[in-house]
Structure formats: structure tokens, C-alpha cells
Amino acid sequence: MTVTPDSPSELNRRTVLRRAAAVGLLAAPAFSALAACASEDGNGGTTGEKTEANPFGVGDKQPLETVFFNGGFGEDYAKFDVAAYEAKWPGSKVDLKFSKTILTDYQPRFYGGNPPDVLNNSSPETIPVGPVVQGGQLVDLTALLDAPSYDDPKVKVRDTLVAGVVEEGTFNGKMYTLNYAYSIYGHWYDEALFQKEGFTVPKNWDEFATLAEAAKKKGIAAYTFQGIHPWYIHNVITEWIYKVGGKEAILKIDNLEPDAWKQDAVKVAAERIAEMASKGWIQAGASGLDHTTTQQAVLDGKALFIWCGSWLEGEMAKTLPASVKLAVAPPWDLSSSDKTKYGTVHAAPGEGFVVPTKAKNPAGGQEFLRMMLGKEQARKFAELTKSLPVVKGAADGLTISSALSSASKVAAAAPEVINWRYAGWYVPLQNAVFAAATDLAAGKSSAAAFQAAVQKAADEVAKDDKIVKQKAS
């Protein structure tokens, strides 16, 4: 992943999480506001004068419609943000909505030309960014990045963000998505259960296999996955491809190189998942279960590991037994010749927000995001969700939960950070991995069939001139 203004080598080192908790902001030139007289906005309100405190010229009587994904981070932080916006703009009424199915609920509104002003484009089924960008339906957020930060007008918004935020939200050279949470991904387990049973967290495949058989004898599945939401298992297999083949293997996939899915790294990763399924190490029926059900299996001691992001504790807070001590492990070595060291972890900005160009109040949408990136809002997000925001220093001094403490340690010790781009760039290819990986984990397919199915989809994307191609480096 290319990082600006920081170099890729800096991002891919153990400083990644330390950056997320770094104190202080970089100095930047003050914003040169172009003052504008108030005018009618066409929505019953007035636009305001552009100043350092109001860089987008928001009027104090402009309504705002915001949509948040109702998932692992819950609703409370969104309600806090809305209250803060209405307090600053007392004449503005914010229409706050929540959705568990962003694609289903809000893609039709893009087509209909009446999208909300701010959309949290997150969930297992998001609106593909590429097509809406190419259709001119998303605001280029460069102006947001260059606006004065909410806390200090001498510092640009972009300089308050941890490394990788701009790049992760970039498409065709411009940032259209603001990713708000800094997530640590890995295999979560109950440390208390491991201590009780005398289990050891594996560092390689042989150790995992031994553990899986020991757990099986006790009636515990070694592994489970969020079956009906294939985004999760697609992450597992892509992480494992990176683990075995390194960044080089993923770059071939990202760049649609011929036979990229026929690489040995893909074969090894697929064979490992097939092996888990064939040996009965995966929770029975997981492929037909949802995310909370399978995640609860780990909390209830019915399964040892599940792949998820660092939002897991917050998402399962209502059913999390007091005796459970959640912790996360990086991918174990899958072969004797993995190109990345043990401890390599998947970490990235996520939980994206967009501002549609056809929104009634895009200025207010950008101002809402600017406010969310203020220290107070970002700190409240950390408090309420037990997850890191992408604002430097926002979580400093907070008492972090055991789960997030574990994630922080794993990320801070990581010799390399896993990431890829194909899934966000090429939806048909991502969907092919979704289907093929689910069949693999369900025991309905083989590694060879997985490779063939996904390679076919990659070839079709590569040949489709209507799909704009991106370049990863």
C-alpha cells in the first residue's frame, strides 16, 4: 500500500499502531478562506460565509441527512456526533438513520438521484466505490483534507490522520472515502479458555493441527467463520496468500497479472482451508450461520478461533460473558517457506464514509466529517466502541480493554503489515472469491476448484474494457 506523506516502508513496520496513538499534530499552513456572502441553498435554509471555522460555507438552517451502518461499532458514537453537529448549527436538524444493509437500502437512492448527505458505506455488503466514482456520484474529499482541522486552524485535516488513511480511500488518484476506524484483524480467541484447557496459541500449521485435534476430542471446533457473510472468509484466504507469498504474490493479484491465482501461495492457502474442512476442524454448519452466531460460538467455548476485526468486543458486548478474555493472534505460519515472518498482521483504516455529489447538503456532509475528525469526537468513538479512530492521539490516556490491548500489542510487534486492493477495485473478482472461499470452507470444493473459479473471474475482469484498471505498487 502506497502511503502519503509517509513512505510505504514506514507504514509496514511496527510503528503502525504507535502512529495511531501518537501525540501531537504536524504543522501546516493556515487555511486561506475565500469569504462568500450568505445565499439561498434551495432547501429552505441559507449557505454561510466561508471562514476558517466554516470552510465549506455551511448555513445554520440547512438540514442534514446522515446514514450509519448499524454493526460492530453500535449507534452511540453516531448519536454523539449528531448532537455535536446540531449544537454547533442550532438551526440545523440532522436526520439520523441506521442500516444493516447499506447496499440494498441506499444504492437505489444513488440511482434515483436523492442520496443522503453523509453515508457510512460499511457492512458486509457495501456500495462498490468504483462505479459511483466513475459516474461522478461521490465528492472528491481533497477539500476536506486541506481544510483547517476542527481543533486547530493552523493544522490541515490531512495532518491529523494516521498513516494510510488517504491512500486507503483513494480511487483514480483522489480520496473519495474517509475511513474512520483503524482496525486490527486476526484470529480471535478466549485467552481464559486456553489457560483453562492448557492450550497454546499456535505459531505454525503443525501446532495448529495438533491443537485442532486436541480440541476436537473435547468437542470443541478449532475454527469457525461468519458463513452467510463471505467477506470474512475472503479476508482469511487473502491474508494467508500474503502470508505465504508475501507482498509480491498480492501485487500480482491486485494488478490482474496472468495466472496470478494459480500461484503456489494461493494453492497453499486454499489447501489449508480445505484441510480444515475435511478434518472436521471447522464448526459444523458454519457456512449457513451469520456473524453474531459464529462469533458467539467462540465466546461460549464451542469454537477456538474466528477471524474478525478489532470491533469484535464492542459488537458482542451484550452477550460477552464476564469470564471471557478476548485476545487476537496473527496468522500462523502456513508452510515452512512462508515469505513473511510470523507476527505479520493485517491492519488498515476502515469504516468508510462518503459524501454523494447529488446530496442536498454536500457542504454539510463534509463539515460533518471534519467535525468527526476532531479530537473530542474521535476520543468518544474510542471510548464507546473500544476501537481506535484514525485521528492521531485521540485515544491517548484511555483505559483500553483487554481485546484492544491484545490487538495493540500484535500490531505494534508486527514485522510487516498485510494489505491488498483488488477487493475494493474489482467487485466481480471479490464476489468470485466470496463464493469460492465459502464453498472451500464448507467442504464443498477443492483448492484446485477454488483457483480455477477465481482465476476465471480475474481473467474476465482483465479483459473487460469497461472496468477501469488500477495499479498497485
Residue 22 pLDDT grade (very low, low, confident, very high; cuts 50, 70, 90): very low
pLDDT in tens, 314-349: 889 999 999 999 999 999 999 999 999 999 999 889
Q: What local confidence, expressed as pLDDT, does residue 174 receive?
A: 94
pLDDT in tens, 146-171: 999 999 999 999 999 987 899 889 98
Q: What local confidence, expressed as pLDDT, does residue 42 receive?
A: 44
Better-scored residue on pLDDT, 394 or 459: 459
Q: Is residue 4 scored above 50 in pLDDT? A: no
Poorest-pLDDT segment among 50-54, 91-95, 160-164: 160-164
Spatial separation of the C-alpha atoms in residues 100 and 118, rounded to whole Å? 16
Q: Is residue 411 scored above 90 in pLDDT? A: no
Residue 48 pLDDT grade (very low, low, confident, very high; cuts 50, 70, 90): confident
- pLDDT (average), residues 418-422: 93
Q: Is residue 8 scored above 70 in pLDDT? A: no
Q: Judge if pTM exceeds 0.75.
A: no
- Please check whether residue 221 is in contact with residue 283, taking contact to mean a CB–CB distance below 8 angstroms: yes
Residue 401 pLDDT grade (very low, low, confident, very high; cuts 50, 70, 90): confident
- pLDDT (average), residues 354-369: 97
- Please check whether residue 315 is in contact with residue 306, taking contact to mean a CB–CB distance below 8 angstroms: no
Q: What local confidence, expressed as pLDDT, does residue 24 receive?
A: 27
pLDDT in tens, 98-136: 999 999 999 999 989 999 999 999 987 899 888 899 899
Domains of the chain: 63-183+348-399 (3.40.190.10), 185-344+416-463 (3.40.190.10)
Q: What local confidence, expressed as pLDDT, does residue 9 receive?
A: 31
Spatial separation of the C-alpha atoms in residues 390 and 377, rounded to whole Å? 11
Q: Is residue 3 scored above 50 in pLDDT? A: no
